[in-house]
Amino acid sequence: MTLILAHRGYAAEYPENTLLAFKEAEKAGAEGLELDVQMTRDGELVVIHDEKVDRTTDGTGLVKDYSLKELKKLDARFKFEALPKKELIPTLDEVLEWLSGTKLVCNIELKNSIITYEGMEEKVINMVRAYDLSDRIIISSFNHYSIVHSYLLAPEIEIAPLLSEGLYMPWIYAQSIKAKGFHPHWRAAPDQIVRASLESGIEVRPYTVNKETELERLFKVDCSAIITDDPAKARRIREKINR
Ligand code: G3P
Ligand code: MG
């Protein structure tokens, strides 16, 4: 069965990358989450997509220039102002603590392509190990040096390269860096690529699949997982196809 991973949580209906969005994704029937990690000035791992806080909070400036205490003063509700209370930027620690009480899998995307966060891989791995979550975590990144670094530090934790464009035989590339799967943009995951990868034992988890036609196609081709902003919609479509 194709797993449904909620992109930044249930980002279609709740403020992305907040505990609220993660909890609602679980309620909506997602089997897993995708989240993005950046690092504060004082070296804390925080769950936020952009390098800057401007788009998703009421603050301005770079995450790396904030201490965790300062970052925790911001409101991350952004376009969901109608929500009754402030949502805070969660730390990775807070998310993993909650996650450990669920059965969800979690794709941690290291956002260290634009800014190089020194030591981010070690910190993520230490935290995953501390919560004993190694078998439920997939570490991905557009920075493939970073995921290979993670693999060398912690071969027990799965890694997956993010691919924004189509590669020639991406399953061979994945195997070459000891990844058991890869995460392509959905346009870079046509049926023949999905099939050839699965036949080679390499999993394919395309992002960010929100269109009904693409969800249907990827469920029909038995893709390993899809990463979507709308886990409830994906559940409905998957149920219709498997009926
Ligand atoms: O991890 C899949 C997807 O999240 C990659 O792109 O920009 O949404 O983090 P982005
Ligand atoms: Mg992401």
Strand partners, 150: none
pLDDT, position 97 = 98
CATH says 3-242 is which class?
alpha beta
233 C-beta neighbours (distance < 10 Å), count? 17
Angstrom distance (rounded) from CA 181 to CA 225: 10
Could you tell me whether strands 105-110 and 32-39 are parallel, antiparallel, or unpaired per DSSP bridges? parallel
Q: How far is the CA of 7 from the centre of ligand 2 (A)?
A: 7
Average pLDDT, the chain: 98
Mean pLDDT, range 36-50, rounded to an integer: 98
Residue minimizing CA distance to atom 10 of ligand 1: 49
Respond yes or no on whether ipTM tops 0.95. Answer: yes
pLDDT, position 72 = 98
* Per-residue pLDDT at 191 exceeds 90: yes
Q: Could you report the per-residue pLDDT of 89-133, keeping only the tens digit for each? A: 999 999 999 999 999 999 999 999 999 999 999 999 999 999 999
| Cα 173 from chain centroid (whole Å) | 21
pLDDT, position 78 = 87
- Confidence grade of residue 81 (pLDDT, cut at 50, 70, 90): confident
For 31-188, strand residue ranges (E) read 32-39, 45-47, 105-110, 137-141, 158-163, 181-184
The residue assigned the tokens 């990690």 is 37
Check pocket membership of 207 for ligand 1, CB cut-off 6 A: yes
* Per-residue pLDDT at 86 exceeds 90: yes
183 noted as active-site residue:
no
pLDDT, position 243 = 86
Query: Looking at the CA of 142, which ligand is closest?
Result: 1
Amino acid identity of residue 170, one-letter, is: P
Helices in the chain by DSSP H: which ranges? Answer: 19-27, 68-71, 92-99, 120-130, 144-153, 170-176, 191-199, 212-220, 231-242
Q: Could you report the per-residue pLDDT of 61-72, keeping only the tens digit for each? A: 999 999 999 999
